[in-house]
Amino acid sequence: MSDARSPRHWAQHAERGSLLLMRATAWGLRLIGRRGLRPLVYLIVLYFFTFGSAARANIRQYQQRLADWSGQPALQPSTRSVFAQFMAFGDSLLDKLDAWHGKLRWDTVTVEDPHQLAAQMSQGRGQILIGAHLGNLEVCRALAEQGGHCRLNVLVHTRHAENFNRLMNDAGASHLNLIQVSELDAATMLRLSACIERGEWLAIAGDRIPLHGGRVAEVDFLGARAHLPQGPYLLAGLLKCPLNALFCTRKENGFRLVMERFADQVAWERRTRDAQLQAHAQRYADRLAQACLDTPLQWFNFFPFWNIDVSSRRS
């Protein structure tokens, strides 16, 4: 058994904030606009910052690791920088709502697509996008759907974010296909395989380990031991489709969308499977670290990341 003092898995934390408050924020955005609503968002963020001691500590730990790993003293955490990361998260919620209300356009997005992945989204078999809680992937989802580029199936832990998913439905995301993947059983794999064969794409987070029954890989992330899920690489191997990295971060005058090939194919031999999957996870950890350095305040992980004891989930 794990030590009773070990931090809880991220999915075991109760979802904070009420659906009523979130809907009020969405209603206020439509009524008075982003500029008028910002003082309210500031107060809401200040509340969670003041009373969220664990979240503050986790963000401070992330900022400290990023500063040490990068060798950039300017990234050392302070009360101001920790609050700035909370505030960036508040702004990202407004961005999500703006996206689903059609207030964000493609001309606000700078696209970096060296492997021409966007052109592949409307032809052939589907592929997998591996993202992270960095920046605002909700913007990508909304723009892709509005532009009719492809059908996007997002693999999520909907029980953990039920309120947020209901809010997105209210904002116009009801046509988006959210698939619960707490456990990848045979029925789920058949469903995902059918999506790929129809030319639909799958999006999955590469920086959150599953709560039950999921395989994890131990990696070096920002200079310390951490666990990342094997799920994206297992899926790509089992479904025999390419795996692509996706990042969407806010810039001063819009967003920067990066799409790049991560692996043309994921394959393994039985005796070396774990080592090969771990190598893929380490490559992703390295890529995510660089993306965090590019936008230090936009990795929105408010949960313990480096101190999770996964042994109890393997018993």
CATH of the domain at 194: 3.40.1130
Length of the chain: 315
86 belongs to a structural domain = yes
173 belongs to a structural domain = yes
3 belongs to a structural domain = no
Specify the DSSP class assigned to residue 108. G
195 belongs to a structural domain = yes
Q: What is the mean pLDDT of the chain?
A: 81
301 belongs to a structural domain = yes
Contact present, 154 and 268 (Cβ < 8 Å): no
2 belongs to a structural domain = no
189 belongs to a structural domain = yes
Q: What is the pLDDT of residues 275-294, one digit of tens each?
A: 999 999 999 999 999 999 99
Q: What angle do CA 168, 171, 176 make, to 5 degrees?
A: 55
Residues 6 or more apart in contact with residue 144 via CB below 8 angstroms: 121, 150, 152
Query: Which range of residues forms the domain containing residue 123?
Result: 10-314
305 belongs to a structural domain = yes
Domain count, the chain: 1
Residue 14's pLDDT is what? 42
Lowest mean pLDDT among 69-73, 164-168, 230-234: 164-168
Q: What is the pLDDT of residues 229-274, one digit of tens each?
A: 998 999 999 999 999 999 999 998 889 999 999 999 999 888 889 8
